[in-house]
Amino acid sequence: MLRGLYRFVKRELVRWRFERRNIYFKGNFKIGKGVEINTKYGGKIVFGENIELGDYTKFITFGGDISIGDYCSFNPFCVIYGHGGLEVGNKVRVATQTVIIPANHSYKDLEISIMHQKESRKGIVIGSDVWIAAGARILDGVNIGNGVVVAAGSVVTKSFESNRVIGGVPAKVIKVRDGK
C-alpha cells in the first residue's frame, strides 16, 4: 500500500513541476531517461492520456504550442519542435529518430545571410491513427490525414489525405489503405 501511495505522490509532484513550466499531462504518462521537455521562448505543451516518451526524446516549443492527443507514443531519439504549432491526434505512433519541425528558413534574398532571414512558421497537423516509421522527417506546413502510414526515412514536404501509405524523398503516395 505504501508503495502505491509513493508512486502516486511522486507522479503528482512530477506533474506539478511540469505545470509550472506550461507543460501539462492530462492522464497517465511514461517518460524514458534523458527526455527533454522544454517550453523555450514561450509556448505550451499539452499531452493527452496514456503517453509514452522514449529515452532521449526532445519536445521543445521555440515559442509555439505542441498538442499531443491520447494514447500516443514516441520512441527513443525523436526530435519534436513547436515553432509554428504542432497538433498530433490520438493513437499516433512515432518511431525512433523521427524529426518533426513546424518551421523553415527562408533563403531567397541573396543580400542577407540565410541565418538572418525570416522563418516560415505555418505549423503541422497530424491526424489520428497515424504511424510514422523510423527516421522520417515532417516539415513545416504539412497536414497528415487520419490513418496515414509514413514509411521509414521519408521526408514529408506536402500534405496528404487520410488513409494513405506514403514514402520517399520527397514523400509521395505509395498506396491507398482501403481495408483490402
Look at residue 171 in the predicted model and tell me its pLDDT: 98
The per-residue pLDDT for range 11-49, each reduced to its tens digit, is: 565 555 565 568 888 888 899 999 999 997 899 999 999
Average pLDDT over residues 120-127: 96
Sort strands 93-94 and 73-74 into parallel, antiparallel or unpaired.
parallel
Q: What is the pLDDT of residue 40?
A: 76
Q: Which residue of the set 10, 21, 40, 105 is catalytic? A: 105
Q: Clarify whether 83 is annotated catalytic.
A: no
CA dist 88 and 66 (Å) reads 8
Residue in the block written with cell 488513409? 163
Distance CA 47, CA 27 (A): 8
Q: Residue 119 — pLDDT band, cuts 50, 70, 90?
A: confident
**What length is written for the chain?**
180
CA dihedral (101, 73, 133, 174) positive or negative = negative
Please give the domain boundaries of the chain with CATH numbers for all domains: 2-176 (2.160.10.10)
53-98 residue pLDDT tens: 999 999 999 999 999 999 999 999 999 999 999 999 999 999 999 9
Backbone angles phi, psi at 11, to 5 degrees: -60, -40
| pLDDT of amino acid 1 | 58
Give the mean model confidence (pLDDT) for residues 141-163.
98
Closest CA relative to residue 151, chosen from 139, 124, 169: 169
How many Å apart are CA 28 and CA 160, to the nearest integer? 31
Average pLDDT, the chain: 91
Q: What is the pLDDT of residue 156?
A: 99
Q: Please, which contacts does 65-70 make with residues 24 or more away whose CB atoms are closer than 8 Å?
A: 68/92, 69/128, 70/26, 70/27
Q: What percentage of the chain reaches a pLDDT higher than 70?
A: 88
